[in-house]
Amino acid sequence: MDITPPREPAQALRLLDTMRPREPGRVTVQIAKSAALMDLVYRLRHDSYVAQGFLEPQDSGKFGDEWDQMENFFSVLCFYDGMPAASVRISHCKPLAPEHERTLTTAMDGWEDEIYGLARSFRVGDQPTVLMEMSRLTRHPNFPESNSDPIFGIFRANFYCLIMTNADILLSTVRQHHMPFYRRLGFQKITDPRKYPKLAFEVGLMACFRQSFKSIQASIPIFQGIDRRDSVYERFFAGERVAIFDEMPIRVPRR
């Protein structure tokens, strides 16, 4: 599979005023390191998918799968005014590493050939390509789509995870009507939508590449100010609930 290295994401450069939370102080995020927090993740996923008609209601009121138990997976919860508002599952993998180090990711259930092709196309020297996938991105049905702050909080947390995993490629499986949004974030479409395992909708594989990370961060406000040395990074990965926008530069009003 031949993937052309991406150009600079010109679309992203036009988003300076739109990719900005309205009320950043109301948004916090936390890695779900405890059983109680994972329970919130499973319930949020379930309620979101049921409300959209993508899942039949489960007696447990929860929705999870076997990938949630893998060591290279973790979930992030976003809270708005202290209430669970959105969640995402993060995985990092090295599909081309030696067998004893090899790890896999969710999207390989449906896009194994494409993912191995991506890993081979962007391998540098003897170092195996590191992939990070964001999956199971869901918004609680109590929070309307007009309020983008929880989703912005999730995407900002994702960028912290990119730094932590030192990923070369960020993957996501995306529904057709969400693809334009992902393109504005620097993603490329790798495949057309197809059936997603265990859910009643179709998604296509999209990817964002290391060559674009710096320009994306520089041009999109929700990614600005993120650094390994900032006040959020260490506390976030230690499992604390953090105000995820604390290090985002304040916009200076135009005169």
Mean pLDDT, residues 188-198: 87
Calculate the average pLDDT of the chain. Answer: 89
- Closest alpha carbon to 88 in 193, 194, 162, 21: 162
The per-residue pLDDT for range 229-247, each reduced to its tens digit, is 999 999 999 999 999 999 8
Fold assignment, 10-237:
Aminopeptidase (3.40.630)
Strand partners for 73: 91
The model carries a pTM of 0.90
pLDDT grade, residue 12 (50/70/90)?
A: very low
The per-residue pLDDT for range 80-98, each reduced to its tens digit, is 999 999 999 999 999 888 8
Handedness of CA 195, 198, 200, 205 (dihedral sign): negative
The pLDDT assigned to 157 comes to 97
- Closest alpha carbon to 77 in 225, 246, 241, 231: 241
| 206 Cβ contact list (under 8 Å, min separation 6) | 171, 172, 173, 174, 179, 182, 187, 188, 189, 190
Return the domain boundaries, the chain: 10-237
